Amino acid sequence: MMINELQKNVLKWAEDKGILSKATLLTQINKTQEELTETRDAIVRLDEIDMDMFMTIIPEDAIPAVYRDSMLDEITDGIGDQLVTLIILAELHGSNITECLEYAYNEIKNRTGEMVNGTFVKD
């Protein structure tokens, strides 16, 4: 499915569930934060397992691949959940996710900086 069709489906779902008529910008950003935290927690768990295996604290064969795969699925789901909440947030704001992304891209496209400890730090 294309992004525009998915966006339209998300907004129809949000309308059918009463989210668009009852949510506020604040309640929706709180939902986004909740989904972000859940995704971060899954990434932390995955990182801990990967680090333990790297440090040979836990042998790789001691962690079933299906468990690691389920964490990867949880992260994928979490990213998608965040996008859903952001699509709804943009709609509540009177915009759409494409406009917001374009606005942000125009802000960063000529930005300079450097990577510090795995994070881009702008000049």
Indicate the angle between helix axes 65-93 and 3-16, nearest 10 degrees: 70
Express each pLDDT in 60-118 by its tens digit.
555 556 667 888 899 999 999 999 999 999 999 999 999 999 999 999 999 999 999 99
Q: Which of the pair, 56 or 13, is modelled with greater confidence? A: 13
Q: DSSP assignment of 42-89, as one string?
A: HHHHHHHHHHHHHTTSS-GGGS-HHHHHHHHHHHHHHHHHHHHHHHHH
Instruction: Specify the CATH architecture of the domain 3-122.
Output: Orthogonal Bundle (1.10)
Report the half-sphere exposure of 28 (CA within 13 A, side-chain side).
20
Instruction: Determine the 3-state secondary structure of 115 from DSSP.
Output: strand
> What residue segments make up the domains of the chain, in order of their start?
3-122
